Amino acid sequence: MALFGTDGIRGLANRDLTAELALDVAVAAAHILVESLGSTQQRPRAIVGQDSRASGEFLEAAIVAGLTSAGVDVYRVGVLPTPAIAFLVADSGADLGVMISASHNPMPDNGIKLFSRGGGKLDDVLEAAIEARMREPWERPTGRNVGRAINDDTATERYLKHLLASVETKLTGLKVVVDCANGAASHVAPVALRRAGAEVIAISDQPNGWNINENCGSTHVESLRAKVLETGADIGIAHDGDADRCLAIDGAGNDIDGDQILTILALGLKSRGQLKGNVVVGTVMSNLGFMEAMKQADIKVITTPVGDRYVLEKMIESDFSLGGEQSGHVILRQFANTGDGILTALQLLQAVKRSGKSAHDLASVMTRFPQVLINIKDVAKERLMESVAIRDAVRAAEAELGESGRVLLRTSGTEPLIRVMVEAPSDSVALGIAERLAEVVVQELG
């Protein structure tokens, strides 16, 4: 089974993702880096950051050891969002970025995300090369040729300045609740929003190593909704553990998902003549309501497989300015080459401020089709495409829905799951079809 998924390496920390594995990955990545620089005599440089998981501490130690032992200088930036690492790699001209995070996954998991020069995620070819060269024999540098590990105390402030440079309209007068998921957003999101002019109430902003994503953040918005209603806030912002996602709650307590945020941002960019190609890049999971809203606005939607890396690849390929996922990964290429939850929040709040409308009114431009998503664990997900019974069940569901909905079965690239997604004219129809399909999947692959 491949080591890298759609978003780096991920697994149960200290069982699937061990210190030994982290060290091996770091050494293999260093070898490829050193060779790519050739005989320039330039020592490779890497930026290493992490989210707030306790397991990140030993994984960081292993990665730093692997990189420096192979002759790479490492700049440790501590707990910062994943998009901060991407920015810092580009900003400093570093050769590699490493983010230790399992994003929205539960605390016991962790992961390793790698960024290439310029701050983009490594492509599949480089990931395969790293995996192929793990544990190969090598000649170890000695003396002055080993790498150094340096603590970079300027990183947080540089990232904050980058975020605030995207704000043209001050957020004065907006009352915002931000849920930091007890993760990487905890130390920067409230500061960024306050410096942008908003009145900020921060919740789940006290990480202790164990409480990341625990009943909080973008996967558990109940506490955020309650705080927005309790405080009379204009809007609530929810981040995930590594802060590359942004979801929202409007002042009336309604969800605003990634597709609705994309809709708001797309309409704003188009009105200012800044939506390149008059195109937004989405994924196969984009809600049909998003497709309809974009059609009504005469904006074309191009879809990719699920994963912000694939969205970004399409955006770079055709020089598009906006793309993202329903899950809250939004890429604004004017400012960043990766999904950035805090940047997205700032741009969403700017749209609210500029319009003079409520977040609810802006989001209501898109009507979400009822959508049910069932995650199926403990099945042989690698056999999904082989099952004739599952394929027949999907065809029958599609025939039943016709043009009034759709069905999507896919394996998760970040978790050991098969996801069953159904959109339909009503919640009851979507749920019924999704449950029937899930039952077939369990029977065939369980």
Is the CB of residue 4 less than 8 Å from the CB of residue 41?
no
Using DSSP, state whether 199 is helix, strand or coil: strand
Question: Which percentage of the chain shows pLDDT scores above 90?
Answer: 84
Task: Write out pLDDT tens, residues 265-318.
Answer: 999 999 999 999 999 999 998 999 999 999 999 999 999 998 888 999 999 999
- Active-site pick, 52, 55, 103, 321: 103
Upper half-sphere CA count for residue 144 (Cβ side, 13 Å): 2
> pLDDT by residue (tens digit) across 119-128?
988 888 889 9
Beta bridge partners of 30: none
Our answer to whether residue 426 is catalytic in this structure is no
Rounded mean pLDDT of 337-347? 96
* Cross-strand bridge partners of residue 283: 304
Alpha carbons 244 and 103: distance in angstroms, whole number: 8
Q: Which of 279, 286, 387, 338 is nearest to 82 (CA)?
A: 338
Q: pTM to 2 decimals?
A: 0.90
| Token couple for 132 | 């192929």
pLDDT in tens, 244-272: 999 999 999 999 999 999 999 999 999 99
- CA–CA distance, 48 with 75 (Å, rounded to integer): 6
Looking only at the bridges linking them, the beta strands covering 9-12 and 175-179 are unpaired
User: Measured between alpha carbons, how far is residue 126 from residues 33, 132, 232 in Å?
Assistant: 10, 10, 49
Report d(CA 313, CA 28) in Å as an integer: 24
- Summarised one tens digit per residue, pLDDT across range 156-165 is 999 999 999 9
Q: Give the type of residue at 252.
A: A
